[in-house]
Structure 1
């Protein structure tokens, strides 16, 4: 009996010790975790002569001699239903008619224009000197020169010689959150509680304009436009009263082991040797699966306990489903509005925005910022998030304490999502200043059909268009 009592006592001591150790480990982990505050961001806005209206779009399309009537009709249908308006911005070399023969200097010019304009505005706005920057991360998927773009920035602004610089390429539309995650990890690794970091997210559009006739590759010309954003971050707790956002949690999912997902969004050459970006019908299926996998990681970090009690049975059920439908695999029955107030879906295309909205049971109000960013600026790749955030801010939707869920998909295939906390009431009109009062418009229908509906006339089926 005495031995039994001693065994019970020993077990109790062991359990208490284990529990204390667990609590202490969690406390230490909390103390060690470095905060990640966003102090400011600046989006790129091109000059008015770059606007791609209906007539400019038609001119670009009709000068491609590789296209025939079937391709013209496909483009007409795609443009009209894309959700993109007439005020997006086109690369300079495309407006000048030189998209079929881009040079290295053209690529550098496009990057310099976007990167240096946004960085100049960011430094001016925050009064932070380039010499104070400790970390620099640049993500551009389709252009990686030597010296790197980070080196080009460091040289231009004469940044300090011990700066930690990283150049990310090939990451696709979700690269912005990858870059931010890298900054957050660097804050933890270097344990300097007074660091500044810059993230630049953009894409090389002009030199990668597709000049062939494959429909799956023409899509990229219809959706992608020039844009980008530069952001300033710090882990300095004393500056949190100046911060606009605080990173609460971030989850990254890579579905590249699946061949179909890997191939659904990929840069290739067509049969005629024209290089472009191919978007296949499998993209929606890959996005649904990747998003579901991501939510399994993200949901426990962002939801209140009450919702989590309903989560695990749904998690087990959704993990067994074989369906690829967005509605059945993405939302898994959770009330996302119990965890966040705002939804920032990457404006990659109308189908993706609508699909995510349907699966998460979001309202038109929730989807409005992403739809309007797509309409006004198009798909600006990794920089697209911040045009959506800018819309929310310009509409004075963001109040202190609000939470924002950012949802992104990218080549690979990747799904990267995160949650931000709004640190102060935000109302800067930013790049939306000249048009925010006219948004949302009464209709998102592109007027391309009004002028070029004749392409669908049956008699043209017997005519070869030159």
Structure 2
């Protein structure tokens, strides 16, 4: 039976099993309860502090915008009192000095306010282009081949193989994902040598394509940010890139480790901050994960799950703050909102790297990962909403929240956390008098959705909670099916999918939502500068885009 307080997190079905034939309860009706873990309903218990945080982001520089019109109106009203001849006479003579002082003071204040706003305003950040690595076909495996190779490696018993097979069948992953050859060998794969070999393959493959597409020289790159959660050698991956491409000696280099699947947006955020501090510059952001180094050869089921989902992948972006790059850039960065739940011990331990009882290293996935992830996502979306939702949607949401508050709906929800599970079920059966929560229509704020392709279950739950359509989730499901979970780079494979379909038009807004260990959830919003034509080269979807969307994606 579910623990108290999980009525938002579990889908519960009570099944009548008939009459108990024997025992102390003979003759009594018996029931069984089926419980399936789900994401929490995002709008059932919205915390206003996160809504306020979103408006804080929105009005960060609003003081300048508020002061400037007031000063301008006062200045205009003061000048309007005088005719042209009177104003000239006042400026050329000492008479009327008091009025002249007021006019000049207001003019100075107006100039100072506008100047302060211009310098305080963030510089525009352009995404010139990006590249996603596509491995060679000899690294491609079907789900059946994956299990057979795992069996031949001799690292798993039959129970572990059967468990991985069941996970794969319901994972949403197709038969064309990529894995390193080394993981199926009988030898140990999580070695520095194997990690460096895989890193060189995926990172240099993505960067070679990026430099070719953008025609920029590696020596022109002023800022380099690399994120890889598990594999962090010395020298770092960023140093490996600098050495390989012979980049300049004064490059600002950063290497982010241990930050999970949401680290791609964190890396973009860091690159943005560095570009704000270093004008007329370009940055390269590389997001990847090493599959072989993260391979778990043991029998702990919670640590076998990553084996089934994670696949090879890497993305590389070229970001610029140079005005001359506007004409050739694809997108401008509008917003980044980051949420970190690491202060909570359950969130901190939800995705945890450790050794099992046999000293095999791996990632342990908590059974409460859906609930924990859902809370982080809900917090992030609540903070993001004031920045992106149309005013009408915000009004509907707040009026509904106030109505539910005064009708006592939110109070009853809080008090029901103390009820036993069976009473919780009856407590929340539909009632005609209860005010239903209003779910904002995020399709009015974004034309394209790139939600981290973590698993089929996570994507289904996010679609349900956010009120999205199958088409909105198409890029995420297609990426999971074709490339698997490529960790922090998955959101870029999804954007590459939208471009390959020719769907990105001028002015479209793209929402990238990523979540991972910590527990963290991050959002990035991009706006298309121009229509993106379907590429002839340099896109990982070119050989298979016509096969998507497949019917299997929505099943």
TM-score in same-fold range (> 0.5): yes
Partner of 1:170: 258
Q: Give the one of 45, 57, 60 matched to 2:134.
A: 45
Residues in 2 aligned to 1:24 and 1:296: alpha-carbon distance in whole angstroms: 32
Partner of 2:170: 81
Residues in 1 aligned to 2:378 and 2:275: alpha-carbon distance in whole angstroms: 29
Partner of 1:3: none
> Which shows bigger deviation, 405-414 or 153-162?
153-162
Shift of 1:92: 2.8
**CA 1:275 to 1:434, structure 2 compared with 1: closer, same or farther past 3 Å?**
same
Partner of 2:87: none
Structure 1 position 57 matched with structure 2 position 164: no
Partner of 2:305: 219
Partner of 1:428: 535
Shift of 1:143: 1.1
Structure 1 position 155 matched with structure 2 position 243: yes
**CA 1:382 to 1:16, structure 2 compared with 1: closer, same or farther past 3 Å?**
closer
For the residue of structure 2 that corresponds to 1:161, the secondary structure is coil
Shift of 1:304: 1.9
Structure 1 position 189 matched with structure 2 position 277: yes
**CA 1:236 to 1:269, structure 2 compared with 1: closer, same or farther past 3 Å?**
same
Shift of 1:406: 0.9
Partner of 2:452: 346
Residues in 2 aligned to 1:55 and 1:16: alpha-carbon distance in whole angstroms: 66
**CA 1:366 to 1:30, structure 2 compared with 1: closer, same or farther past 3 Å?**
farther
Structure 1 position 243 matched with structure 2 position 292: no
Shift of 1:428: 2.0
Per-residue deviation, residues 113-134 of structure 1 (Å, max 9, x unmatched): 1111111111111111111111
Query: What is the count of residue pairs matched by the alignment?
Result: 423
Q: Give the one of 369, 376, 379 matched to 1:290.
A: 376
Partner of 2:485: 379
Tell me, yes or no, if the aligned pair for 1:346 and 1:384 is still in contact at 8 Å: yes
Shift of 1:236: 1.4
Tell me, yes or no, if the aligned pair for 1:139 and 1:175 is still in contact at 8 Å: yes
4+ residue runs of structure 1 moved beyond 4 angstroms? 15-23, 313-324
Partner of 2:161: 72
Residues in 2 aligned to 1:309 and 1:27: alpha-carbon distance in whole angstroms: 32
Shift of 1:422: 1.1
Per-residue deviation, residues 143-175 of structure 1 (Å, max 9, x unmatched): 111111111111111111111110000010000
Partner of 1:355: 461
Residues in 2 aligned to 1:276 and 1:148: alpha-carbon distance in whole angstroms: 21
For the residue of structure 1 that corresponds to 2:473, the secondary structure is helix
Tell me, yes or no, if the aligned pair for 2:183 and 2:189 is still in contact at 8 Å: no
Per-residue deviation, residues 308-366 of structure 1 (Å, max 9, x unmatched): 22334566879986699xxxxxx961111111111110111111111111111111111
Gaps of 5+ in 2: 1-65, 72-108, 418-436
Per-residue deviation, residues 223-267 of structure 1 (Å, max 9, x unmatched): 000101111000112221211111111100000111111111111
For the residue of structure 1 that corresponds to 2:207, the secondary structure is helix
For the residue of structure 2 that corresponds to 1:216, the secondary structure is helix
Shift of 1:79: 0.7
Shift of 1:276: 0.7
Residues in 2 aligned to 1:332 and 1:408: alpha-carbon distance in whole angstroms: 24
For the residue of structure 1 that corresponds to 2:511, the secondary structure is strand
Residues in 2 aligned to 1:129 and 1:286: alpha-carbon distance in whole angstroms: 43
For the residue of structure 2 that corresponds to 1:434, the secondary structure is coil
Structure whose alpha-carbon radius of gyration is higher: 2
Residues in 2 aligned to 1:66 and 1:92: alpha-carbon distance in whole angstroms: 15
Residues in 1 aligned to 2:116 and 2:470: alpha-carbon distance in whole angstroms: 41
Tell me, yes or no, if the aligned pair for 2:474 and 2:553 is still in contact at 8 Å: no
For the residue of structure 1 that corresponds to 2:210, the secondary structure is helix
Written as runs of structure 1 = structure 2, the 5 A alignment for 1:55-134 is 55-63=144-152, 65=154, 67-95=156-184, 97-98=185-186, 100-134=188-222
Partner of 2:289: 203
> Which shows bigger deviation, 77-86 or 53-62?
53-62
Partner of 2:103: none
Q: Which has the higher contact order (CA 8 A, sep 6+)?
A: 1
Written as runs of structure 1 = structure 2, the 5 A alignment for 1:228-307 is 228-307=314-393
Tell me, yes or no, if the aligned pair for 1:52 and 1:90 is still in contact at 8 Å: yes
**CA 1:335 to 1:28, structure 2 compared with 1: closer, same or farther past 3 Å?**
same
**CA 1:332 to 1:135, structure 2 compared with 1: closer, same or farther past 3 Å?**
farther
Residues in 2 aligned to 1:75 and 1:375: alpha-carbon distance in whole angstroms: 17
Shift of 1:374: 0.2
Partner of 1:457: none
Structure 1 position 412 matched with structure 2 position 518: yes
For the residue of structure 1 that corresponds to 2:247, the secondary structure is coil
Residues in 1 aligned to 2:121 and 2:355: alpha-carbon distance in whole angstroms: 47
**CA 1:30 to 1:70, structure 2 compared with 1: closer, same or farther past 3 Å?**
farther
TM-score w.r.t. the length of structure 1 is: 0.85
Written as runs of structure 1 = structure 2, the 5 A alignment for 1:140-151 is 140-151=228-239
Per-residue deviation, residues 421-453 of structure 1 (Å, max 9, x unmatched): 01121222611011111112233599xxxxxxx
> Which shows bigger deviation, 435-444 or 373-382?
435-444
* CA RMSD in angstroms, aligned pairs only: 2.7
For the residue of structure 1 that corresponds to 2:224, the secondary structure is strand
Per-residue deviation, residues 380-400 of structure 1 (Å, max 9, x unmatched): 001111111111111111111
